[in-house]
Amino acid sequence: MEFQERMNRLFDKSVTRTRREEVLPRGIWTPSVDIYETVDAIVIDVELAEVNIDQLVVDVEKDMLTIKGERPLSKEGKPEKYHLIERSYGPFSRSFTLPESVDSTGIKGNYRDGILTLKVPKRAPKRIVIEQ
């Protein structure tokens, strides 16, 4: 019984230390994204709470749309020590391959309430005239 209690304590300490180590490191994180289609566009909603619009970069090269930025950890009053950090901070980057059916030159963006919305317009279908 005593051996079992010691093993449980050892295991509890190990798990607690591992959880703390998983939560605290800074590094690249991946913001959540919703992608959906309307009649005339593909819409990408990116959740970027506490990311300053000045820290956002959206690029399109060929058929690749890339969103980059950073969510800083700095808080007002700078607490002496954190007890728990579950949200992710630091730089991020998301890339999406655009389908051939869209016009990447007409992308429009809007950033409000921590959500970046990108609307990628669909191309008008090409009609082929058939001669008689």
The answer to whether position 130 is within a domain reads: no
Residue position matching structure tokens 């959500």:
115
Domain that holds residue 106: 27-121
Residue 16, domain member (yes or no): no
Q: What is the CATH number of the domain that holds 108?
A: 2.60.40.790
Is 6 inside any structural domain? no
User: What is the phi/psi pair of residue 36, to 5°?
Assistant: -145, 170
17 assigned to some structural domain? no
Structural domains counted in the chain: 1
84: in domain:
yes
Per-residue pLDDT at 13: 52
What is the distance between the terminal CA atoms of the chain, rounded to a whole angstrom? 94
Q: What is the pLDDT of residue 19?
A: 43
The SS3 call for residue 33 is strand
pLDDT in tens, the chain (132 residues): 676 676 666 666 544 444 444 443 445 789 999 999 999 999 999 999 999 999 899 999 989 999 999 998 766 656 677 788 888 888 999 999 999 999 999 999 999 999 999 999 999 888 888 998
Between CA 46 and CA 52, with CA 49 as vertex, the angle to 5 degrees is 95
Nearest to 24 by CA among 77, 72, 93, 82: 82
Residue 21 counted as domain residue:
no
Q: Say what the pLDDT of residue 25 is.
A: 46
CA distance linking residue 130 with residue 91, whole number of Å: 53
Asked whether residue 69 is domain-assigned, the answer is: yes
The answer to whether residue 2 is domain-embedded is no
